[in-house]
Each structure stands twice: as structure tokens, then as C-alpha cells.
Structure 1
Amino acid sequence: MSVRRIAQSLVRPFILSLTAFAVVPAAHAASCGNTGAGFDAWKREFAAEAQRAGVRQPGLNALAQARYATSTISADRNQKSFRYSLPKFMQIRGADTIVAQGRKRKAASPAFYQALERQYGVPAGVLIAIHGMETAFGSFMGNTSVVSAITTLTYDCRRSAFFQPHAIGALMLVDQGAITGATQGAKHGELGHTQFLPGNALRYGIDANGDGRVDFYNQTDALASTANYLRSKGWQPGQGYQEGQPNFAVIKEWNAATVYQQAIAIMGARIDG
């Protein structure tokens, strides 16, 4: 695809349903659980909630086929890296490698990143740092069923309310053909090059390559969607993104861990040079 076509297509956001964020009355909420024993019964209850939220038969079929993801529960209970100091976190996450490869990627596709910045105001360094941090530039996007992972986390009592709209979002993405019940992502149900949670994917996805669908496993769509998310969360074009500067607060919207936020800001600045 030509750079010109990419730049033109960036202004055409893919229209996605926002009904995933409909509030389901608490009286009808499916019962959570802390083991896999009640997962199948919960799925039947949750299917009724999903239908009320607008999920259609393909999404309901994916829900019925979802399996309790024990590896997801294990990962959710053991997120140790976010407890490290900033230097240790950057070391174990390969910050120097991300920066070195990120500079090469920016130099190889300058028009693409310039088009993203013109449209959304987000500098290349931030987008590239997120891409590198999340999936090593798409080299590993996960090995867990997105639908199974996100529904398991919604069923699990620890953070049911947080994950519920993302479970509905995942089922709606199945309805739209953006993913299937077999699509693989990260342990917490994040999908694609920059690891969007499904509800955010539904809301902020952009068809940047102009093929008529949002594909988070396509780099062009994924990075445009990431830029759209950050802009929608309040990114101020031309303002700084280091700690204490206006756009650092927007990086917090991407990930709640302080060391992650700091690492993205530092790596982004190094990539942007």
C-alpha cells in the first residue's frame, strides 16, 4: 500500500457499535466464582446479559465455547514485573533493544508515522515504544483465546466489574467478524499488535488501511487505533509527555502501572531523539 493511501485512510474511522458499554442492571448480573467449577453455569447466565447488551448469535456461540482459562487466573495473580524499580523494569522488558529497534522502524517508515502524528497528534516515539513493549513489535501477540481469557476474568470475583464490558466487547467483535472465538491474544484477553482490551478495541478501532474492517493483527490498523485511543483520552498535540507534562496523564490511561508509564515516556523520548 502506498503511503498516500495510508495517510488518506487514517481519517476514516471504522464505525463500531458502542452498545457494549450498556449498563446491565446489577439485579441481573451473573454470579462470579473463584474456581472453574461454576464457569459453565455462569456462561449460561452471562449469555442473557450479553443478549440484552446487543450480542448476536455468533458472539453467543463463542461464549458457549469459551473455556475456563487457568493460565489467565495464574497470570492475574502473579503480575510481579510491575513491582520492580524503574531501572529493573526497563532492564527485564528490554528497553534498550526496544529503543534501538524503534529508531530503525521510525527511520524505515517516516511518512507513516508522520501521517499518524498529523491526524492524532501522537509522536512516533510513544506509539513505537508501546508497540515494542506490548508485543516486541508484533513478534508475540499471545497464545490464549481472547474470548476464553476475558470471560474467565469477568467470571472471576476479583475484578468482575472491570472486565465485564470487555467481555461484552469481545463478543461483539466476534459478531462483527473482527475476531473469532479462536483468536489468540494475551493472558488478560488483550489482542493485536498493541494489546487492546476488547471493549477498547470495539470503541477506538480504526480501519487505517482502508480494507473495510478493523484488524488489530494488522500493524497499520493497530497503531492508528492506538493513536486514536490516546487522542480520545486527551492527548494534546505538541505538548510534552514526560512526568509532570500534560500528556503523561494520557499514558496513564493506557496502563495503570507507574513503572510502565515511566518506561514508555523515557523510551518514547529516546526513539524520537
Structure 2
Amino acid sequence: MQLSRRTFAMGLGALTLSACSGAPAMRSSANIGGALPADLLPTPNAGYDAWVSSFRGRAVGQGISQSTLNNAFRGTGYLPGCVKRDRNQTEFKRSLEDYLAIAASDERISKGRAAFARHRGTLQTLEGRYGVNAEIICAIWGLESFFGERRGDVPVISATSTLAFDGRRGAFFEKQLIAALRIVQNGDISASRMTGSWAGAMGHTQFIPTSYQAFAVDFTGDGRRDIWSEDPTDALASTAAYLQRNGWTRGVKWGGEVGNGAPQGSIIQPQPGGPRFAVTSNFRAIKRYNNSDAYAIGVGHLADRIGGAGPLRSSFPPDANGLTKDDRVALQQRLTARGFDTGGTDGVIGPNSEKAISAYQASKGLPATGKPSQELLRALG
């Protein structure tokens, strides 16, 4: 993922795709429909307070007014949860099959088609203005915030100042903090309304502050580039503008599965034994938004599905445990039916499924490994 747009921290909004390394991990908003976790509330920290006092002088030197600083830091504070999440990011090695099972799940496709229908006029107007396919814009919205449902509720000033103070990526986050203060000073949004992920990614399509400064647009013409409001217009327009300015070519597809009407382009096969894709320059433009093949395929495939296309035709090979996706779905269904809830039956074996497997194994007096297997599938009948 490119630090020019946002941090390592966020990915499928929900999905939580972050952050993305090769086959990205999924990332989620810090708060989805409820109070923030206790570790994302301001906590007294003398070192942080001293850092803020020192930072104020540097900020004034970069054109931030004292009144902006006073207003922006009112009620903010050190958020230990931001530091914990930044230091404990796991580079999940998800397969492309697992990634797409989440990125283009039945629920996400259904919500995407409904969102596209609601905002068809806006999306098609943006396509006409910027040349970016309407379905691609909608798909990025879906991956970044689940079509606006998971935008994040963490105060950006607190998050970026906490991470700048922490120092692991201090220079980067101080730059984001200065940019966030400029946004407040410009009047686009108040500091109290400027919320996002624990790492400062904001709005419907998760812009970090510096990318907001560079690419956000006021498409509604109300004098503010408002990517936070319930109306997603400015956020969707900003995403289209971002892609246009990063090499998007009007009228060119992103790519597609080889043998399924894909355009001419470079051939890639992200998962050995899995589908192959022919990808174009616009695939590379999507990667400017998030530098991951899996992410770009996820955007392209979700866009195709929103537009009415069917699933991939080629199959993926069995996983390292010898299980196909159908096997994994059956395993989840059988565990859940026996009272060991896997938290869903999407065929992706994550922490919830592993916990359910361990609980089942323990109930049978077996070693609680949490690992799926053909033997376990047979035992569940």
C-alpha cells in the first residue's frame, strides 16, 4: 500500500484489508455501531502532553494558527489503542481465494448493487467527468468502508498526534497531523467531526490527510470537500479524481479472468494453481490506491459483479490442509450446527473458525489445535 495515500493500517473496511502485503490482511474500522473501545479513549500521558506542547511551535512555524491549534486539541489526548494496533499489525498471508471470498462476498455484492442503484446518477456523472468506470468507483467505496457503513469513529487529531508522539513512524504521522490541521483551518470540517480509522484514514473512501489535501474535491459545490458526511458525493468524486490523476485511462477495462472475455494485457496468477488474469494499465492505476495485486483484483472483480457479471469460472486448488472452499464452508456449517459458532460460513478459516474448531476438539477430548482438516470434516459428518 502506498504511504502517499494512507497508512499501513487500514484495508477492507471493513474487511479490513490492510493493510495489504502481497495477499493483504483485512482491516476493520475501530468502531462499528457502538462506543469506542476503552483503549481508543483519551488517557493521561505526561510524555504525550509535553510532545504536544513542543509540536505546537513546529505547527505555528508551518502556518497553523494558534486558534486552530487550540480548537483542534480541545478534548483530544493520547490513545493507547492506536499505538497497540500500530505495533501489532499482523501480516496475514491470506490466499487470493480467501481475500475474494470477503471482498466480493454475496453480502458485499448485494449491498454494492443497491448502493450503485441509489447513486447511479452521481456515479455515472463522475464517470463522465473523470473517465473512471462508475462500477470501479463504487467497488472502492465498498472495499474501503462497506459503502459508507464503516468509516471509523476515532478522532483524527488524537490518532495522528498519538502516533507521531510514539515515534515508530513519527515523521510520517506528524506530516499527517499537520495536514489534518490544515484541513480544519481551511474550514472543510471541524476537528470534532474529523474522525476515521485508528491511523487517520478518513471518510467513505479512507483518505489519509495528505492525500485529502492533494486529491479531494468539492463536487457538490458547497465550499467544502466533505468526505465524512452521509452524502458520499465528494468522497466518490475525490476517489475518481485520485485515479484519474494517477494514470487511469478512459474506456479501458481493469482486466479480467483469462478465458472469460478478458482484454489484452499482462498475465498474472497471484495464487499458484488458481485463476489467471489479464490486467491493463488501469489495474496498475488501482494499485496506486493500494499497492496490492489482491486489492486491485478485488476492486475489479467486485466492480464486475456489481455490474452484473458472474463469479470467476476457474477454481482454486485445495489449501495447505487439503480442503477446497466448499469443504471449508461445509466445515463451518457443521460446526455451527453443533453449537460451535464460526461467525459465518464464507469458507475463510479465521480466528472465529479456529476458536470453534478448538472448542469442538476439546469437547471430544482431542488436542485443541484449532486446525481444519479432512479428518475433522469427516468426523463432523
Partner of 1:229: 242
In the alignment, structure 2 segments of 5+ residues that lack a partner are: 1-44, 256-277, 309-381
Q: Deviations over 1:6-37 (max 9, x none)?
A: xxxxxxxxxxxxxxxxxxxxxxxxxxxxxx65
What is the Cα deviation at residue 43 of structure 1? 1.4
Q: Which residue pairs with 2:65 in the alignment? A: 56
1: CA distance between counterparts of 2:247 and 2:61?
31
1:172 maps to which of 175, 182, 186: 182
The residue identity in structure 2 corresponding to 1:238 is G
Aligned to 1:110, which of 91, 115, 120?
A: 120
User: In structure 2, what is the equivalent of residue 265 of structure 1?
Assistant: 300
1:101 maps to 2:114? no
Name structure 1 gaps, 5 residues minimum: 1-35
Higher relative contact order (CA closer than 8 Å, sequence separation 6+): 1
**Scaled by the length of structure 2, what TM-score is found?**
0.58
Give deviations 1:124-174, integer Å, cap 9, x for gaps.
122111111122111221121111112222223222233332211101111
Structure number with greater Rg is: 2
Q: C-alpha separation between the residues in 2 aligned to 1:177 and 1:221?
A: 15
Contact 1:204–1:229 (CA<8 Å) still a contact in 2?
A: yes
Matches of 2:105 and 2:135 in 1, distance apart?
13
1:204 is aligned to 215
Q: 1:81 to 1:262 in 2, by over 3 A?
A: farther
Matched, 1:255 2:290: yes
| Counterpart pick for 2:157 among 147, 163, 166 | 147
Q: CA contact under 8 A between 1:63 and 1:171: conserved in structure 2?
A: no
Instruction: Determine what percentage of the aligned residue pairs are the same residue.
Output: 39
Partners of 2:281 and 2:125 in 1: CA distance: 22
State whether residues 115 and 147 of structure 2, in contact with CA within 8 Å, keep that contact through their aligned partners in structure 1.
no
- Whole-angstrom distance in 1 between the partners of 2:67 and 2:246: 31
Larger fraction in helix: 1
Q: Match of 1:193, SS?
A: coil
Q: Number of residue pairs matched?
A: 239
Q: What is the alpha-carbon root mean square deviation over aligned residues?
A: 2.3
Instruction: Tell whether the 8 Å contact from 1:154 to 1:164 is kept in structure 2 after alignment.
Output: yes
Find the partner of 2:281 among 224, 231, 246: 246
Q: CA deviation at 1:190?
A: 1.3
SS of alignment partner, residue 83 of structure 1: coil
Supply the distance in 2 between the matched residues of 1:223 and 1:111 (Cα, whole angstroms): 12
Deviates more, 1:64-73 or 1:110-119: 64-73
Q: Distance in 2 between matches of 1:173 and 1:127?
A: 24
Residues 67 and 148, structure 1, Cα contact 8 Å, conserved in 2: yes
